[in-house]
Structure 1
Amino acid sequence: MASVEKLPMLAEGYERMTADLKALRDERPRIVDAIEEARAHGDLSENAEYHAAKERQGQVEASISDLEDRISRAQIIDPATLSGDKIIFGATVTLLDDDDKPVKYQIVGTYEADAKAGRISYNSPLGKALIGRKVDDEIEVTVPAGDKFFVVEKIEFI
């Protein structure tokens, strides 16, 4: 039997995911009502409301399945319980860019990633390049805009 791959995430990402799942489940009855109402209008072949409601139903069910799967595989990690001198999931790292300007990122799960807020996925190119690195390590990452170079200045678990 294949082992189930755990999905590391922070507690806040898990909470947001469960809230999103609840909202989608709460939407189900409204979609069924919309389908029934549209069906009552007669000919379904030219009924835009019916097709839109059916399409939304498919989207909601797919999202529910995806979230249920992610939640079942969630491995909640509290960065405050972590330590060490290497970058791992949950670490907050300060990097110096090409211009010696500091940039700060926290390594998070894919569902929690928000680059503008300084939260990058461990699966992103930069996240993958950072995992396992130490202070003073030099990192090269290829991004759409070209190659970026960083030096790890600080690793924190907060």
Structure 2
Amino acid sequence: MAEEKTFPMTLEGKKKLEEELEDLKTNKRAEVIKRIKIARSFGDLSENSEYESAKDEQSFVEGRIKEIDNMLNHAEIIDNENVDADEVSVGKSVTFQEEDDDPETYQIVGAAEADPLNGKISNESPIAKGLVGHKKGEKVTVTTPGGEMTVTIIDVK
């Protein structure tokens, strides 16, 4: 039997997913059903673009509900109690610097809550994989799709 995939996440990330799920079930689902009813009233469904669009959206909403349900059912809340304060791990923020570049700070989170534009990178990303387990002050060589980069870990919070 195949092993169930777990989804590491912070408590904050779990709460956001629960809120999104609630919104999808109570608001989005009802909006889409209303759109489908309106589109049906236009007559012939074979050439009804409004109906097709609403059905596509319904499919997306239902798929996202299933996806979030699965992630929440298999969530693994990140616990850093047994990790050294200066060690990079999932759930912590890390500041690192590549040679002459400006320092960069990211929080390492589970893939379900990754949002690089808001400073949250997936624990499955090449940078996170390269940094996890290392400590403040260490120089680390990280392998990325663009090649190798050497960074110094400046801070871990």
Superimposed CA distance per residue, residues 101-124 of structure 1 (whole angstroms, 9 cap, x where no aligned partner): 432222111232222332211011
Cα separation, 2, equivalents of 1:101 and 1:49 = 49
Q: Look up the match of 2:16.
A: 16
Specify the SS of the correspondent of 1:45: helix
Cα separation, 2, equivalents of 1:100 and 1:44 = 57
Cα separation, 1, equivalents of 2:114 and 2:70 = 18
Cα separation, 1, equivalents of 2:52 and 2:101 = 54
Residue range with higher mean Cα deviation, 60-69 or 93-102: 93-102
Judged with a 3 Å threshold, the aligned counterparts in structure 2 of structure 1 residues 42 and 95 are, in CA distance, closer, same or farther, namely same
What TM-score, normalized by structure 1, do the two folds share? 0.84
RMSD: 2.1
Q: Look up the match of 1:69.
A: 70
- Report the CA distance between 1:92 and its aligned residue: 2.0
* Count of residue correspondences: 154
Specify the SS of the correspondent of 2:89: coil
Give 5+ residue unaligned stretches, structure 1: none
Superimposed CA distance per residue, residues 42-72 of structure 1 (whole angstroms, 9 cap, x where no aligned partner): 1111111111111111111111111110111
Cα separation, 2, equivalents of 1:30 and 1:143 = 41
% identical equivalent positions:
36
Paired letter, 1:56: E
Judged with a 3 Å threshold, the aligned counterparts in structure 2 of structure 1 residues 43 and 117 are, in CA distance, closer, same or farther, namely closer
- Report the CA distance between 1:100 and its aligned residue: 6.1
Q: Look up the match of 1:97.
A: 98
Give 5+ residue unaligned stretches, structure 2: none
